[in-house]
């Protein structure tokens, strides 16, 4: 099983350890993990040049770093993204990375392989906000066409992994076990649900009348999505 993991921070705290637990509990013995830490492995801010959307993703001034991670995501069965909650949001580093992936949203040029993957969105907070952050990460993957995104959020009632209570650690242990079993049961067999299909249909009709971005429109045409073909 190939897994891409993107850590929305560079330290190995609670979000990191929860992610690690999930990997350890996935019983597949042939795990190949591509791991990225923010901000060292990821691009700097999007400069808003529109090159990725209007021309090509390879025209982004930071294409090398972005496409390195995108290639891992494309090759993986499972994409795991975590972030601590900072001021009720995901980390700025992680949002910066997501900004670079707008070109592969359903509204532009979604990648067919993304419609077969499972995602996991993880966030921890001291007191509150992790639910919203996990939801936000899941939303990003959904807009890339990922049909099944599990969420795991935990308000850990502490600031570091070392100071978490035993009770909280037990609860985390239970949740990571449950989640890893769900992933194992569904890997390779997920299909888009009604919400994703519906959104695809709306985007398809938008592309039919798209007269502002030929690159996007041609992409939809070449994939046959303006006719009967679908990416799933």
Ligand X SMILES: Cc1cc2nc3c(=O)[nH]c(=O)nc-3n(C[C@H](O)[C@H](O)[C@H](O)COP(=O)(O)O)c2cc1C
Question: Where do contacts with ligand X occur on this chain (CB under 6 A)?
Answer: 9, 11, 13-16, 84-88, 124-129, 156, 159-161
Cα 51 to chain centroid distance, Å, stands at 22
DSSP string, 117-165: -EEEEEEEESSS-HHHHHHHHHHHHHHTT-SEEEEEEEE-SSSSGGG--
Residue nearer to ligand X on the CB measure, 29 or 162: 162
| Tokens representing residue 127 in the block | 């007191």
Closer by beta carbon to ligand X, 15 or else 207? 15
Q: Of 213, 198, 207, nearest to 226 (Cα)?
A: 207
Q: State the greatest distance between any 2 C-alpha atoms of the chain, in Å, as a whole number.
A: 58
Query: Alpha-carbon distance 91 to 211, whole Å?
Result: 36
Asked if 172 and 18 touch (Cβ cutoff 8 Å), the reply is yes
Which H/E stretch holds residue 78?
strand 78-84
Please identify, using beta-carbon distances, which residue of 37 and 219 lies nearer to ligand X.
37
**What whole-number distance in Å separates Cα of residue 156 and Cα of residue 172?**
9
How do beta strands 2-7 and 148-155 pair?
Answer: unpaired
Residue closer to ligand X, measured from CB, 114 or 179: 179
Shortest distance, position 173 Cβ to ligand X, whole Å:
16
Shortest Cβ 160–ligand X spacing (Å): 6
Tokens of 130: 């992790």
Residue 168 or residue 206: which is nearer to ligand X going by CB?
A: 168
Q: Which is nearer to ligand X, 3 or 90 (CB)?
A: 90
């Amino acid at each position: 099983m190939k897994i891409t993991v993107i850590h929305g921070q560079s330290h190995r705290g609670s979000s990191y350890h929860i992610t690690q637990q999930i990997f350890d509990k996935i019983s597949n013995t042939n795990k190949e993990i591509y791991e990225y830490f923010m901000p060292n492995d990821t691009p700097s801010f999007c400069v808003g040049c529109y090159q990725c959307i209007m021309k090509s993703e390879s025209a982004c001034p930071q294409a090398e770093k972005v496409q390195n991670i995108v290639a891992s995501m494309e090759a993986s069965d499972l994409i795991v993204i975590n972030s601590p909650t900072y001021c009720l949001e995901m980390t700025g580093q992680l949002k910066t990375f997501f900004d670079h992936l707008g070109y592969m949203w359903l509204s532009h040029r979604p990648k067919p392989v993304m419609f077969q993957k499972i995602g996991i969105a993880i966030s921890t907070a001291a007191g509150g906000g992790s639910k919203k952050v996990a939801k936000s990460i899941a939303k990003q993957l959904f807009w890339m066409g990922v049909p099944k995104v599990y969420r795991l959020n935990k308000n850990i009632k502490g600031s570091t992994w070392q100071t978490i209570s035993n009770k909280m650690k037990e609860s985390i242990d239970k949740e990571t076990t449950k989640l890893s079993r769900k992933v194992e049961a569904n890997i390779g067999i997920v299909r888009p649900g009604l919400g994703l299909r519906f959104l695809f249909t709306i985007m398809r009709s938008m592309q039919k009348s798209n007269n502002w971005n030929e690159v996007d429109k041609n992409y939809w045409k070449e994939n046959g999505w303006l006719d009967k073909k679908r990416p799933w």
